Amino acid sequence: MRILHTMLRVTDLERSLAFYTEVLGMRLLRRQDYPEGRFTLAFVGYGEESTTAVVELTHNWDTDHYELGNGFGHVAIGVEDLYGACETLRQRGGVITREPGPMKHGTTQIAFIRDPDGYAIELIQSRA
């Protein structure tokens, strides 16, 4: 078994696709409209769906707002150079919501950025 994808509901698919591809550097892997159901699914990721977990962006055409709730935490992405990644994300228009540094009560280096719908993305420094 393996994790296939994480699904996030988004209010503006084009804005979300721009964030995940242009800011975070993922690729649009596939996109499908479902006119009878009035929704679109778009899958983005750093690798092929056959070998890596990806993010499914679900856009329900008639919904313009979602409550994030308090059950969802974040999506985590490993990076080789945390400080360099944060600077690159800033240059691409991303807003770092938690500056890079050690996590509370630990030594793992982390930072956070939010997507256009408010979902938290944790950046974690890869260990050598």
**The amino acid at 93:** G
Q: Which two tokens stand for residue 119?
A: 């979902």
Burial 72-93 (b: 16+ CB within 10 A, else e): eeeeebebeebeebbeebeeee
The H-or-E segment that residue 39 falls in is strand 39-45
Tokens of 14: 């084009």
56 is catalytic: no
What residues are annotated to the active site?
A: 122
